[in-house]
C-alpha cells in the first residue's frame, strides 16, 4: 500500500519532483567537486612539502630564531665575517691571493641541544624521529694588492707627498682588489635514520646514499641539479670548510615538480664537528604512529619542549606560495561558503515545495485521516515521498559531480608552487652557484618553485557525504511537510469538498 501510493504520488507530481531533485543534485554536485578539488590541493601541497620535510614526516621541531649577533658564524645564524691576518694568503708579483671557507648555521636558523631527540623518541605514539643540522658553506676567494711591501701600510690611495706609496699589484696591477663569495646549503643528518626526514623523500639517481657505516666519514651526497650546475659527479670531491668530501651519490626529488631540501648531504656527526656545533641540531623530524595521533604527539612535544616550535604538515602548508596557495585559499573560503549556501538553498527549496504540496493536498490528507489513517502514517507517507525525491537528486548530483571531476582531471590545470628557503647569499655566486644575486653577508630567501598538475581525487568518503546529504535533505523536507499534513483535521477536508 505504502509503495503503491508513493509511486502514484511521485508520478502525479513530476514537476515538483523534478525541481526538488534538480536543486538537490546541483548542490550535492558542487559539494562533491569542491571536496575533490580541496583534496587535490591538499595532496599537491603535501607533494611540494614532501621533498623538503620527508616522506612520513608528520611533525617538525625547530627553535625560534633569536636576533642574530654581529660577527656570526656560530650557532645563531648571524652575518658571516672573515678575518685575514697579514700573513694569510699567497703573494705573487705584488698580488696576494686569499681563500677561506666556513661551514656555519644557515641564515635564519637556530640550533638547540640534540638531547631533545631522545626526549621526543621517548614520547608515546612516536614511530620515528631524526635530527638534522642545516648549514651553509660559504667560501671567500679574492685577490688583493700586497700591503707589506715598502711603506704600503697606509690606506689605499694615500697622498704620495706624505711619503706613503700606494700599493701596487692586485688583479689589475694598480692596487685594485677583486673577490667573490660562493655559498651553498649543507644538511647534516644521521645516516642510520633514513625512514624519516629529508633524505627519505628523494630518489637516488647515481652512486649510493649515506649508510650507517658513514657516521664519521667525509662522504657526501649531492642534489643532482646542483651537481650539474657545479660540474660535479660521483667520485669527485667537494670542499666543505676546507675539508675534502668524497661524493658517493646523487639524488633528486621523487617528483619532477619538487626540489630537494639541500644542495649537499653529509653525516650529522661530521657536520657538527666541522661547524664547531657539537651536540647541536637545527630540526627534528617526527613520524607519528598513525594519522590520528599527530595532534596528541604535537601537544606532547610542546609540553616536553616548551621553547621549541612544533609544526605539523598542515601548518607547514602555509609556507607554500604561488597559484597553488591561491587555489587553496579559494577552495577554503569561496568554495566552502558557496557550497554551504547552495546546499542550504536546495534544502529550503525542498522544504517549501513539500509544504506547498501538502497545502494543495488538504482534501487528500483530510480524507485519509477520516478513513482511519494515523498522523504517524501520514507523516511517514510525506517523508517517504521527500526522501525519494532527495535520493533522486543525490544520484543525479553524484553523476554530475563525477562528470565535473572528470573534466577537471582531463583539463589538468597546472599550478605554480614555491617553498621559501632562507640561505646565506654569496656575491657573484649567490646562494649556491654562479649567477646568483645578493651581496656578501646578506640573507637571501631562495624559493624552490615547481609546477604541480592539479588532480581531483574521487574518494568513497565524498560519495558517502553526497548520499548523506541527499538523505538529510529529503528527511528534513519530509519531516516539516509531514508535520504540517498531520495537523490537518478531517472536518476541514470535508468542508472543502463541494
CA 468 to chain CA mean position, Å: 31
Q: Is residue 427 part of a domain?
A: no
Q: Is residue 372 part of a domain?
A: yes
Among 306, 333, 358, the domain boundary falls at 306
pLDDT at residue 498 greater than cutoff 60 = no
Least confident of 17-31, 90-104, 361-375, 421-435: 421-435
Identify any residues that bridge with 9 across adjacent strands, giving them in sequence order: none
Q: Is residue 491 part of a domain?
A: yes
The b-or-e profile of 112-136 (16+ CB within 10 A means b, else e) is: bebebbebbeebeebbbbbbbbbbb
- The highest-confidence range among 155-169, 174-188, 230-244, 362-376, by mean pLDDT, is 230-244
Among 250, 274, 306, the domain boundary falls at 306
Q: Are 198 and 299 found together in one domain?
A: yes
pLDDT at residue 301 greater than cutoff 90 = yes
Q: Is residue 223 part of a domain?
A: yes
- Placement of cell 652575518 in the chain: 79
Please state, for a pLDDT cut of 90, what percent of the chain lies above it.
19
Q: Are 34 and 87 found together in one domain?
A: no
Please tell me the predicted confidence (pLDDT) of residue 435.
34
Please tell me the predicted confidence (pLDDT) of residue 6.
66
Q: What is the mean pLDDT of the chain?
A: 74
Q: Is residue 24 part of a domain?
A: yes
DSSP state of 361: T
Please state, for a pLDDT cut of 70, what percent of the chain lies above it.
63
Average pLDDT (309-338) is: 61
Q: Are 227 and 277 found together in one domain?
A: yes
Per residue in 313-325, pLDDT tens?
666 655 554 444 5
Q: Is residue 56 part of a domain?
A: no
Cα 128 from Cα 192, distance rounded (Å): 12
Q: Are 136 and 171 found together in one domain?
A: yes
Q: Are 129 and 218 found together in one domain?
A: yes
Task: For 259-318, give the DSSP string.
Answer: --S-SEEEEHHHHHHHTT-TTEESEEEEEESSGGGHHHHHHHHHHH-TTEEEEEHHHHGG
- The highest-confidence range among 11-25, 361-375, 442-456, by mean pLDDT, is 11-25
Residue 136 · residue 76 · CB < 8 Å: no
Q: Are 150 and 14 found together in one domain?
A: no
Q: Are 69 and 205 found together in one domain?
A: yes
- The highest-confidence range among 259-273, 319-333, 357-371, 452-466, by mean pLDDT, is 259-273
pLDDT at residue 436 greater than cutoff 60 = no
Question: pLDDT category, 174, cuts 50, 70, 90?
Answer: low
Q: How many structural domains is the chain composed of?
A: 2
Q: Are 98 and 27 found together in one domain?
A: no
Q: Are 201 and 166 found together in one domain?
A: yes
Q: Are 255 and 135 found together in one domain?
A: yes
Q: Is residue 449 part of a domain?
A: no
Closest-CA residue to 136 (of 451, 436, 450):
436
Cα 432 from Cα 285, distance rounded (Å): 25
Task: For 183-198, give the DSSP string.
Answer: EEEEEEE-TT--SSSG
Cα 399 from Cα 362, distance rounded (Å): 36
Cα 97 from Cα 402, distance rounded (Å): 68
Identify any residues that bridge with 420 across adjacent strands, giving them in sequence order: 447
Closest-CA residue to 470 (of 16, 20, 10):
20
Domain range for residue 332?
2-46+325-413+454-496
Average pLDDT (459-470) is: 80
Please tell me the predicted confidence (pLDDT) of residue 444.
37
DSSP state of 332: I
Average pLDDT (165-171) is: 57
Q: Are 302 and 207 found together in one domain?
A: yes
- Going by C-beta distance under 8 Å and a sequence separation of 6 or more, which residues neighbour residue 498? none
Enclosing H/E stretch for 402: helix 375-411
Cα 245 from Cα 273, distance rounded (Å): 14
pLDDT at residue 484 greater than cutoff 80 = no
Q: Which three cell numbers stand for residue 440?
A: 656578501
Average pLDDT (394-398) is: 88
Least confident of 21-25, 182-186, 197-201: 197-201
Question: pLDDT category, 266, cuts 50, 70, 90?
Answer: very high
Q: Is residue 407 part of a domain?
A: yes
Q: Are 153 and 298 found together in one domain?
A: yes
Query: What is the pTM (predicted TM-score) of this model?
Result: 0.57
Amino acid at each position: 500500500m505504502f509503495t503503491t501510493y508513493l509511486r502514484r504520488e511521485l508520478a502525479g507530481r513530476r514537476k515538483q519532483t523534478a525541481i526538488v531533485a534538480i536543486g538537490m543534485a546541483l548542490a550535492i554536485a558542487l559539494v562533491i567537486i569542491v571536496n575533490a578539488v580541496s583534496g587535490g590541493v591538499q595532496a599537491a601541497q603535501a607533494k611540494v612539502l614532501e621533498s623538503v620535510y620527508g616522506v612520513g614526516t608528520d611533525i617538525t621541531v625547530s627553535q625560534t630564531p633569536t636576533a642574530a649577533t654581529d660577527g656570526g658564524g656560530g650557532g645563531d645564524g648571524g652575518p658571516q665575517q672573515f678575518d685575514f691576518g697579514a700573513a694569510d694568503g699567497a703573494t705573487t708579483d705584488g698580488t696576494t691571493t686569499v681563500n677561506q671557507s666556513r661551514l656555519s648555521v644557515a641564515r635564519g636558523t637556530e640550533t638547540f641541544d640534540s638531547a631533545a631527540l631522545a626526549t621526543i623518541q621517548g614520547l608515546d605514539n612516536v614511530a620515528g624521529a631524526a635530527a638534522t643540522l642545516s648549514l651553509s658553506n660559504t667560501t671567500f676567494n679574492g685577490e688583493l694588492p700586497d700591503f707589506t711591501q715598502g711603506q704600503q701600510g697606509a690606506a689605499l690611495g694615500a697622498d704620495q707627498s706624505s711619503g706613503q706609496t700606494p700599493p701596487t699589484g692586485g688583479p689589475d696591477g694598480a692596487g685594485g682588489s677583486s673577490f667573490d663569495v660562493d655559498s651553498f646549503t649543507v644538511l647534516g643528518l644521521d645516516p642510520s635514520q633514513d625512514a624519516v626526514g629529508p633524505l627519505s623523500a628523494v630518489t637516488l639517481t647515481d652512486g649510493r646514499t649515506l649508510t650507517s657505516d658513514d657516521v664519521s666519514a667525509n662522504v657526501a651526497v649531492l642534489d643532482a641539479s646542483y651537481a650539474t650546475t657545479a660540474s660535479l659527479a660521483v667520485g669527485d670531491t667537494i670542499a666543505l670548510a676546507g675539508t675534502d668530501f668524497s661524493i658517493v651519490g646523487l639524488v633528486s626529488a621523487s617528483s619532477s615538480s619538487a626540489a630537494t631540501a639541500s644542495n649537499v648531504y653529509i653525516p650529522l656527526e661530521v657536520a657538527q664537528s666541522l661547524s664547531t656545533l657539537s651536540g647541536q641540531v637545527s630540526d627534528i623530524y617526527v613520524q607519528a604512529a598513525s594519522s590520528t595521533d599527530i595532534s596528541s604527539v604535537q601537544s606532547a612535544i610542546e609540553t616536553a619542549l616548551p621553547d621549541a616550535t612544533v609544526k605539523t604538515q598542515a601548518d607547514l602548508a602555509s609556507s607554500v606560495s604561488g597559484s597553488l596557495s591561491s587555489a587553496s585559499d579559494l577552495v577554503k573560503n569561496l568554495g566552502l561558503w558557496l557550497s554551504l549556501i547552495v546546499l542550504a538553498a536546495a534544502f529550503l527549496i525542498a522544504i517549501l515545495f513539500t509544504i506547498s504540496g501538502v497545502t494543495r493536498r488538504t482534501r487528500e490528507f483530510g480524507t485519509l485521516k477520516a478513513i482511519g489513517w494515523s498522523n504517524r502514517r501520514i507523516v511517514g507517507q510525506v517523508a517517504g515521498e521527500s526522501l525519494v525525491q532527495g535520493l533522486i537528486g543525490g544520484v543525479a548530483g553524484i553523476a554530475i559531480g563525477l562528470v565535473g571531476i572528470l573534466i577537471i582531471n582531463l583539463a589538468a590545470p597546472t599550478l605554480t608552487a614555491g617553498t621559501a628557503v632562507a640561505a646565506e647569499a654569496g656575491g657573484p655566486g649567490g646562494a649556491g652557484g654562479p649567477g646568483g644575486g645578493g651581496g656578501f653577508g646578506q640573507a637571501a630567501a631562495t624559493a624552490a618553485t615547481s609546477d604541480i598538475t592539479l588532480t581531483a581525487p574521487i574518494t568513497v568518503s565524498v560519495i558517502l557525504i553526497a548520499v548523506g546529504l541527499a538523505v538529510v535533505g529529503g528527511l528534513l523536507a519530509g519531516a516539516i511537510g509531514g508535520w504540517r499534513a498531520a495537523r490537518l483535521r478531517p472536518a476541514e477536508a470535508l468542508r472543502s469538498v463541494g
